[in-house]
Amino acid sequence: MERPVRELKGVGEKTQKLLESIGIYTTGDLVRLYPRTYREYGSPVSVKDVKEGETYTLRLRVLTNVYVSQGGKLPVTTITGADDTGRIPVIWYRAQYLRSVLKKGGFYVFRGRVVLKRGRLQLEHPEIFSLDDYQALENTLRPVYPLHKGLTEKQMIKLVKAALSEKDLLPEIITEEIRDRYQLAERNFAVEAIHFPGDKEALIKARTRIAFDEFLLFILSVRLLKERSDSVPNSHNIKPVWKTEEIIENLPYQLTNAQMNVWHQIERDMTGHSLMSRLIQGDVGSGKTIIAFLAAILSAMNGHQAAIMAPTEVLAKQHFDSMQRLLEQNGLSDLSTVLLTGQSTASERRKIYAEMGSGEAKIIIGTHALIQEKAQYKDLALVVTDEQHRFGVKQREALLDRENPPHVLVMSATPVPRTLAIILYGDLDISVLDEMPQNRIPIKNAVVDTQRRTQSYAFIIKQVREGHQAYVICPMVEENEEIEAENVTDYAEELRSVMPEDITVGVLHGKMKSKEKNRVMDEFSSGNIKVLVSTTVVEVGINVPNATVMMIENAERFGLAQLHQLRGRVGRGDAQSYCIFVQGNKDDETNKRLQVIGRSNDGFFIASEDLKMRGPGDLFGVRQSGDLDFHVADIFRDSDVLKTAAEAASDILSMDPGLALPQNKMLREELSKYGAYGSESTVL
């Protein structure tokens, strides 16, 4: 698994550089690049049975010559195909070469998506196979990898096959007894079958085993971490201060009972005998940030330092501005607060580092720049992290390795049901904000089909004319023939042609350089961009109270928990906000799922319904990660596997608390990479 990828057959210098640009340096990295989805080569269906929005395989005779016309910017290639039950137009973009491929009167197999254009169903941009070639593929599953410029799908399949040809690539990390008890596949079978499954059953077995391993390693890491953190005394002399109560009294709104309860739990932890390790779990808009600010002020007023880490530079800046205002309004301007992000200049950084090192800076707000080696603290008593999935077990463990470990407060807006939260956050005490502030206006929701898009655009224009802003979320960055979904690049162009010229449309996605992303988010925050077309990169880290509309294209491609997170970007100001979920297919089951979020704004209810509605066969489509960065496992979809892994972890630790027995040697080695046995990270 540690072999350099360059040693694989077919990897030259150019391919090596392309692979390294996406983080693939070893055979192991390549093997862990799991398919994003799978193409299912089922039996061909009849023309009469096709419906809008679905992908089909059709065996057709070409009735017409290949016709190429200039449709807008792109050349459009068209034929008409037919079987015994009917005929259907078939179209491609940028495919003039098909004139020499398709012969009038010939039989071919076409696999693509059926769309409704000008009142007629047509097959759009399908793959083309000869009858013999398709017969060889029929009833198989083919992996679809996340591709990057310069790497083709055929190339990726070839490279992964080369990596998997190594025998016994992965050592077994669990005993045969555990495998038998939980009916788990062998590890090497699972890794091979998740890339190239013989059938759906093999894929389910492979996914289950890999998800089990990811959960098991995570849970064991968390349990071992808890053993260490439970025994760490609180070395910071912190006493309650009246000023925090005055700040609460002076707020322009009243804290909810839930906020007051959680604040008192934190105050009790920070002034107690043991170190605080607490998770605040609160729905979007439940008021977590003010509690974090109060904890930082309590630390600073006792002469210590507090660090607040946000997932994005824009949010860090917003936290900094809000903290500055809060301190000024309460006569605490002497508590020095600094902002440290990747955008800070070299001279700004030097000055801030000096203030942190001397202890002059009491409240330090920033991004991951806060955990770089140069960032040294004189007396760090509290670390607050916003959004759990950016701050994992390794980082929490590294904090314990400090001479005077700080209190840790983690904030998460992903509403994980309590039974699962206890398993996932075993080293953290859990506080729940289960009450919304009274001044929050509930978001109005609508689930619509693609034919209501024009009305939705008109509604967005109306909201912008009233002085507001809007988000439009697409699941993809660029067009991909394998996945039928809207992409931000083309969508933004289309939207610009629909919107009046004075309504600025911006684009945001994860492939943009950090500087460009920050520029776009700043422009949106300041109101210069009126409509932001984005991928899920806005899921965390941007707070624009003026945005009142969230329109989510291909809503069926997201998990309900993620849709709820996205919706949380609106409804942050005083005006009524709206969320439009656009369903890209006509599937009844999909509609049933989307109606759950259409009817409710309660994240915990949505998460529990999501758990009920997902089955073990829910494998196709883009994996939606929940709160933690697992490669395959999903805490909602795989909740049963999570519970099984927790049970197995308890059994392993009860028999061998230090994992010292010979049968746990490989498990111990795997955990060392996770951080449970000494972390390589230098954090805070």
The span from the CA of 520 to the CA of 171, in Å, is 46
pLDDT tens, 139-165?
A: 888 898 877 777 888 888 888 998 888
Mean pLDDT calculated for residue range 566-591: 86
Q: Which residues, including other chains, have CB under 8 Å from residue 410's CB and lie 6 or more apart? A: 278, 279, 280, 384, 385, 388, 391, 425, 428
Q: Which residues, including other chains, have CB under 8 Å from residue 491's CB and lie 6 or more apart? A: 472, 474, 533, 553
pLDDT for 677:
41
Q: Which residues, including other chains, have CB under 8 Å from residue 83's CB and lie 6 or more apart? A: 46, 47, 58, 59, 60, 61
50 close to 121: Cβ distance less than 8 angstroms: yes
3-state SS, one letter per residue, for 473-516: ECCECCCCCCCCCCEHHHHHHHHHHHCCCCCCEEEECCCCCHHH
Domains of the chain, start order: 43-138 (2.40.50.140), 247-433 (3.40.50.300), 444-600 (3.40.50.300)
pLDDT tens, 428-437?
A: 888 888 888 7
How would residue 484 be classed by pLDDT, with cut points 50, 70 and 90? very low
How would residue 483 be classed by pLDDT, with cut points 50, 70 and 90? very low
How crowded is the C-beta side of 219, counted as CA atoms within 13 Å? 26
How would residue 608 be classed by pLDDT, with cut points 50, 70 and 90? confident
The span from the CA of 371 to the CA of 555, in Å, is 36
Burial class for 501, CB neighbours closer than 10 Å (0-12, 13-18, 19+): exposed
pLDDT for 352:
92
Identify the DSSP state of 284.
T
Rounded to the nearest integer, the mean pLDDT of the chain is 84
Helix (H) or strand (E) run with residue 112 in it? strand 107-117
How would residue 28 be classed by pLDDT, with cut points 50, 70 and 90? confident
pLDDT tens, 555-576?
A: 888 878 788 888 988 988 889 9
221 close to 425: Cβ distance less than 8 angstroms: no
**DSSP class per residue in 116-170:** EETTEEEEEEEEEE-HHHHHHHTTEEEEE----TT--HHHHHHHHHHHHTSTT-S
pLDDT tens, 318-372?
A: 899 999 999 999 999 999 999 998 778 889 889 999 999 999 999 999 887 777 6
pLDDT tens, 268-307?
A: 999 998 889 898 988 777 889 999 999 999 999 999 999 9
pLDDT tens, 408-460?
A: 898 887 777 777 878 877 778 888 888 887 777 889 999 998 889 899 999 99
- Is pLDDT larger for residue 653 or for residue 229? 653
How would residue 674 be classed by pLDDT, with cut points 50, 70 and 90? low
pLDDT tens, 370-407?
A: 776 677 889 999 999 875 545 566 666 666 667 788 99
The vertex-340 CA angle with 430 and 303, nearest 5°, equals 65
According to DSSP, the residues that pair with 108 across neighbouring strands are 60
Mean pLDDT calculated for residue range 251-257: 91
pLDDT for 629:
58
Among 143-147, 163-167, 238-242, 621-625, the least confident range: 621-625
Q: Tell me: pLDDT of 466 over 60.
A: yes
**DSSP class per residue in 185-198:** PPHHHHHHHHHS-S
Identify the DSSP state of 318.
H
pLDDT for 418:
74
3-state SS, one letter per residue, for 647-681: HHHHHHHHHCCCCCCHHHHHHHHHHHHHCCCCCCC
Looking only at the bridges linking them, the beta strands covering 55-62 and 107-117 are antiparallel
pLDDT for 253:
87
The span from the CA of 657 to the CA of 650, in Å, is 9
Q: Which residues, including other chains, have CB under 8 Å from residue 540's CB and lie 6 or more apart? A: 311, 312, 315, 386, 387, 390, 413, 565
How would residue 638 be classed by pLDDT, with cut points 50, 70 and 90? confident
Mean pLDDT calculated for residue range 605-609: 79
The span from the CA of 402 to the CA of 409, in Å, is 16
Stated pTM of the model: 0.71
Helix (H) or strand (E) run with residue 222 in it? helix 200-230
